[in-house]
Structure 1
Amino acid sequence: MAKLYLTRHGETEWNVEGRMQGRQNSLLTKRGREQASWLSERLNNININLIISSPSARALETAEIIRGTRDIEIVQDEHFLEINVGDWEGCLKGDIEKKDPDKSLLFWTKPHLFKTTNGEDFYQVRERVLPWLKHILNEYQGQEVLIVTHAIVLKIILSYFNKTPLERLWEGPYIEGTSLTTVEISGEDWKISQCADTSHFKIVPMKL
């Protein structure tokens, strides 16, 4: 038996502002760092053998907070970078909807039809992520591995385990920052035992 733990980076400044990030980066907010700390506490008693992180600073900082003082190697892996959205990166989602409504609609409702000339489409992300995911499952059989990545990459991975087509990519729960998905793997069989779970989140009292 092996377990694969999947999480998204914590909340960032651009998440709050409603900007597309893609390959660009913005800093974790205070809440984003808190989210990572909550997940660190939740995973503290689990014997994680390895952490694999997207090289994006927001994911890497999340991974480092989750690791805390434990002696766990963090491997940066470009296969788990977020989708490259080209000219949209750094732009407000509302502005994109006004400037490029047809393409924006396809992105959010019909991902299998979305095409772009200066970034990646969802098929290209899938072709980047899934072969390497299978490599990791083969390479680390019997171990417990945490992958820290991004929302769309996580959706791609979940569609693989759920055997759902790309047109249904956006189905299922919203991937909150540092939510936890756990996949139990035994040989060629697997089971998603929890998906986008946020039970480790804590309510932070508002300061007056």
Structure 2
Amino acid sequence: MANNFTHIGLLQHGAVEAGDVFCGELETPLSKLGWKQLKQAFGRSGADWDAVITSPRMQCAAFAEWFSQKYDLPLVRDERLREIHFGEWEGCTPQEVMTTHPEQLAEWWVNPAQASPPGGEGFGEFRARVLDAWMDLGRAYRGERVLVVTHAGVIRVILAHVLQMSDERLLALNIEYGALTRLRVLRDRSGEWVSLLAHGCG
């Protein structure tokens, strides 16, 4: 019987040199701490995976390239796995945005699906591209184990979709640097079934 299960690991990149800022389109390298977080968690687990998929952003792709080369795994960069574009908030800390756009930031915290940063990407567009990538993973890698190196917002959108959460509750999902979310996807004649196996593990 064919293996219809796809095991998908969603890995949040590590801490970055830019610090705790809104970082969507911003290219920023991993900090020393970020590299340490990822290598400690995944530097010895290459046998657990068959392929690596990554956001093209530096903070994701650098580790994905290192990991795929170390364990001789195929690597694919997928533009759809980019973080949402934060517009005028890019590169700013939440404290800085609270000074310049207090009402908009408050609205975004309450419901990020309804309040986009000025000049940023609309949530509907972001959600659509992320879920398009998610659907392709289950189809293209059936029977395989895939590590996806991406961003907190991307992971939140996928989890909300899988758990049938309302979009306004996205920020209730805590996504730590270097943490892994494991999902199992079953595709059969009756459709697609997804189980959350673990969240926030190293």
Do Structure 1 and Structure 2 share a fold, with TM-score over 0.5? yes
Q: Distance in 2 between matches of 1:150 and 1:169?
A: 13
Which shifted more, 119-128 or 60-69? 60-69
1:89 Cα offset (Å)? 0.8
1:3–1:183: 8 Å Cα contact kept in structure 2?
Answer: yes
1:36 Cα offset (Å)? 1.4
Q: Distance in 2 between matches of 1:102 and 1:71?
A: 48
Structure 2 equivalent of residue 4 of structure 1 = 8
Q: Distance in 1 between matches of 2:95 and 2:41?
A: 31
Q: Distance in 1 between matches of 2:24 and 2:41?
A: 23
1:111 Cα offset (Å)? 1.2
1:92 Cα offset (Å)? 2.3
- The alignment covers a number of residue pairs equal to 194
- In structure 1, give the amino acid aligned to 2:122: D
Q: Distance in 2 between matches of 1:98 and 1:117?
A: 14
1:24 aligns with 2:26: yes
- In structure 2, give the amino acid aligned to 1:6: L
1:51 Cα offset (Å)? 0.6
Normalized against structure 1, the TM-score is what?
Answer: 0.87
Structure 1 regions of 5+ residues with no counterpart?
Answer: 199-208
**SS across alignment from 2:10:** strand
The 1:94/1:32 distance shift into structure 2, 3 A limit, reads: same
**Residue-by-residue CA offset, 1:156-207 (whole Å, 9 max, x unaligned):** 01111111110111123x2111201100122221211101213xxxxxxxxx
Structure 1 equivalent of residue 201 of structure 2 = 197
- In structure 2, give the amino acid aligned to 1:72: L
Q: Distance in 2 between matches of 1:145 and 1:5?
A: 6
Quote the sequence identity (%): 28
1:101 aligns with 2:117: no
Structure 1 equivalent of residue 111 of structure 2 = 110
What RMSD in Å do the two structures reach over aligned CA positions? Answer: 1.5
1:45 Cα offset (Å)? 3.1
1:116 Cα offset (Å)? 4.3
- In structure 1, give the amino acid aligned to 2:45: L
- In structure 2, give the amino acid aligned to 1:184: R
1:33–1:65: 8 Å Cα contact kept in structure 2?
Answer: no
2:89–2:117: 8 Å Cα contact kept in structure 1?
Answer: no
The 1:147/1:176 distance shift into structure 2, 3 A limit, reads: same
- In structure 2, give the amino acid aligned to 1:21: C
**Residue-by-residue CA offset, 1:92-129 (whole Å, 9 max, x unaligned):** 22111111011111222211221345211322210111
Structure 1 equivalent of residue 184 of structure 2 = 184
1:9–1:59: 8 Å Cα contact kept in structure 2?
Answer: yes
Q: Distance in 1 between matches of 2:164 and 2:30?
A: 32
Q: Distance in 2 between matches of 1:181 and 1:103?
A: 30
Structure 2 equivalent of residue 41 of structure 1 = 43
Normalized against structure 2, the TM-score is what?
Answer: 0.90
Q: Distance in 2 between matches of 1:191 and 1:154?
A: 15
